[in-house]
Amino acid sequence: MSELQESVRVRFAPSPTGNLHIGGARTAIYNWAFARRHGGSFILRIEDTDPERSTPENTAQIMRSLRWLGLEWDEGPEVGGAFGPYLQTERNSTYGEALEQLKQRDAVYPCFCTPEELAVKREQAMSEKAYAGYDRSCRRIPVAQAQARIAAGEPHTWRLKVPLDRGDVAFEDEVYGLTTVPITQLDDLILVRSDGTPTYNFAVCVDDTLMRITHVIRGDDHMSNTPKQILIYEALGTRLPSFAHLSMILGSDGKRLSKRHGATSVEAYQNEGYFPEALVNYLALLGWSLDGETTIISAETLCASFSLDRVSKNPAIFDEAKLAWMNQAYLKAMGAEAFVEALEPFLVDCGFMRGKGPTVNLGGAYTLGALADPAAIKADIAENKAWYEAIHGLIAERAKTMTDVIPMIAYLFGGDTVELDPVSMEKCLFIDGASGIFDSVILALEEVCDWKGAKIENALRQVPEKLGIKAKPVFQAVRVAVCGTMVSPPLFESLELIGKDDVLSRLKVSRDILGWRESFS
RNA sequence: GUCCCCAUCGUCUAGCGGUUAGGACACCGCCCUUUCAAGGCGGAGAUCACGGGUUCAAAUCCCGUUGGGGAUGCCA
């Protein structure tokens, strides 16, 4: 790699034709980490030259996702910078100037072929022989004649005059190494469309030059564009940036990641309750490795150690299970305070209000659009921080994402009642002598003054001892009565959080049910 | 069609001429245990896509084949 004689400047240049997807996020992460590693600048540029598919909403969403991931850009939309504007649609005059320059250098020529004509030519050439691009017919039009046609208002594009005597185009890719493309494969590509707007390849070269980009780190799909762009740089007479291409991220079937693979956008993972740190960690290691051993890596370490020569050339299959595992690793490692902060939006969305139960409960699914007042929920969290923080210890070893947490903790919010799961009742509640056991349990718990997990456990352990039965069925019955199901977070801590009065109420409900049941048999 | 690129356990990867081919996820078993997890320990899993070379020695270097991906747009 050549010496970095000037400060590193890299860019992430998404086109806002959709939201930020997994592949784009990884490209952004590598650019960002590379900039941080070299004390350079990370620039965001929006490539919105396609008016058909670009929307301001997508631009906003992409920026939201980047910020959520913690990838702050040093220059770009909303933060400014000395080389703006950073939206290509706002840079039209710049491309116009660049085109003028190329005209003066005799590096371009007008092409009057219509899209229809070109399509016919292409199809014909493809079927007959090896098609290698535009046949350059308009290049042979005499200058005076071309000028006259332009003056007459005939629609035309501007094409690059690829030097016929130039040898093959070669470049040293920072991850793929030397790549050479025969010049015969490169045609006179269109730089400026008939409507005066620049094409992707042209805009990229002009912008990367003007924005002083030193390293172009981008998706693999641009590998074949690179030789074309090198030709444009040469026509412009500007220095080439370094290039580094990143292999693609594939779905579980080895095919290009798409909707049918499930969540592909960063936003979707955010909504599913993944942590940005975990996503960044996972994505960073999907195609790059520190040493082959490290699986959990902080953003700081990533920024201190990222290098292009350890980027993998192989396309990688996106493994949801590993991401989920990693997310849990972050969940376990994060402090209770940070956990509550992350949990709050999910509680608000689901309408979980202490004592009032989950507001929206559709057959076990807690969905967005709750009825509870968000302000009230937030206030309750603020006033009872310790209570909410205790949840972390209950679920960290059991949940992978925040959306896992929600159904897991619903029972904590029911106040004096809980929804009882029929299967769990059948298996663990309706056991021999259950109502007697419950009488003892209630009696024992009523006597607990200091309502803490350890005290509750002591009291509860005495029940099976006195009755001369095993502890397990007793605990399981209590679990069902208080938590609603036979599978739940730790029992004693749960009882502590639910509170003595509510626990006793729930136990009495079950005791009554057992009483009625026994009276019928 | 033509051009470019890629190829190590199911998955992500380490490896850069000499290793019992290492780690992580997933999987299986045991331990722990009031449930579920988590954790600990152990296991299975890769003839390094295939075929030729080069070399005393090849997963590592070279050539070919096969398979996959990308480009070949007035999309990016």
The tens digit of pLDDT for each residue in A241-274 reads 999 999 999 998 888 887 777 788 999 999 999 9
Q: Which amino acid is at A148?
A: A
Nucleotides of B under 7 A from a protein CB: 1-8, 10-16, 22-26, 34-38, 68-76
Contacts of A467 by beta carbon, 8 Å cutoff, 6+ apart: A433, A436, A437, A440, A474
What Å value separates CA A67 and C1' B35?
40
What Å value separates CA A216 and C1' B58?
35
What pLDDT does A133 receive? 87
Confidence tier at A422 by pLDDT (50, 70, 90): very high
Tens-digit pLDDT profile for residues A395-416: 999 999 999 999 999 999 988 8
- Separation of CA A161 from chain center: 41
Q: Say if residues A174 and A243 touch (Cβ distance below 8 Å).
A: yes
What pLDDT does A357 receive? 60
What pLDDT does A398 receive? 97
Q: Which of residues 89-118 of A touch strand B (CB under 7 A)?
A: 113-115, 118
Q: Is the pLDDT of residue A223 over 90?
A: yes
What pLDDT does A124 receive? 83
Q: Which residues pair with A293 in a beta bridge?
A: none
Nearest DNA or RNA nucleotide to A489 (CA to C1') = B36
Q: Is the pLDDT of residue A333 over 70?
A: yes
CA closest to C1' of B3 belongs to A185
Q: What is the mean pLDDT of residues A452-461?
A: 94
**ipTM summary value:** 0.96
What pLDDT does A358 receive? 59
- Closest-CA residue to A412 (of A356, A454, A458): A356
Q: What is the average pLDDT value for chain A, to the nearest integer?
A: 91
What pLDDT does A371 receive? 59
Nearest DNA or RNA nucleotide to A115 (CA to C1') = B74
Interatomic CA distance for residues A299 and A308, integer angstroms: 16
Interatomic CA distance for residues A235 and A245, integer angstroms: 23
Tens-digit pLDDT profile for residues A5-29: 579 999 999 999 889 999 999 999 9
Q: What is the mean pLDDT of residues A210-238?
A: 95
Q: Which of A255, A259, A400, A427 is catalytic?
A: A259
Q: Which residues pair with A219 in a beta bridge?
A: A246
Q: Is the pLDDT of residue A363 over 70?
A: no
Nearest DNA or RNA nucleotide to A46 (CA to C1') = B76
Q: Which ranges in A112-240 belong to alpha helices (H)?
A: 115-128, 143-151, 200-210, 226-236
Q: Which residues pair with A243 in a beta bridge?
A: A173, A216
- Separation of CA A185 from chain center: 37
- The reply to whether A306 has its C-beta less than 7 Å from any atom of strand B is no
What Å value separates CA A151 and C1' B74?
20
Confidence tier at A361 by pLDDT (50, 70, 90): very low
Q: Is the pLDDT of residue A121 over 90?
A: no
What Å value separates CA A293 and C1' B15?
12
Confidence tier at A206 by pLDDT (50, 70, 90): very high
Q: Is A466 a catalytic residue?
A: no
What pLDDT does A415 receive? 86
Pairing mode, strands A215-219 and A108-111: unpaired
Q: Which of residues 336-395 of A touch strand B (CB under 7 A)?
A: none
Q: Is the pLDDT of residue A359 over 80?
A: no
Q: Say if residues A383 and A477 touch (Cβ distance below 8 Å).
A: no
- The reply to whether A430 has its C-beta less than 7 Å from any atom of strand B is no
- Closest-CA residue to A41 (of A13, A11, A66, A70): A11
- Separation of CA A244 from chain center: 22
Q: What is the mean pLDDT of residues A292-320?
A: 95
What pLDDT does A129 receive? 73
Q: Which of residues 23-82 of A touch strand B (CB under 7 A)?
A: 47, 49-50, 53
Confidence tier at A360 by pLDDT (50, 70, 90): very low
Which has the minimum average pLDDT: A4-13, A41-50, A169-178, A432-441?
Answer: A4-13
Interatomic CA distance for residues A389 and A182, integer angstroms: 63
Confidence tier at A41 by pLDDT (50, 70, 90): very high
- The reply to whether A177 has its C-beta less than 7 Å from any atom of strand B is yes
Nearest DNA or RNA nucleotide to A126 (CA to C1') = B1
Query: What share of chain A in percent tops pLDDT 90?
Result: 79
Q: Which residues pair with A254 in a beta bridge?
A: none
- The reply to whether A333 has its C-beta less than 7 Å from any atom of strand B is no
What pLDDT does A362 receive? 41
Nearest DNA or RNA nucleotide to A479 (CA to C1') = B35
CA closest to C1' of B10 belongs to A252
What Å value separates CA A256 and C1' B56?
46
What pLDDT does A5 receive? 55
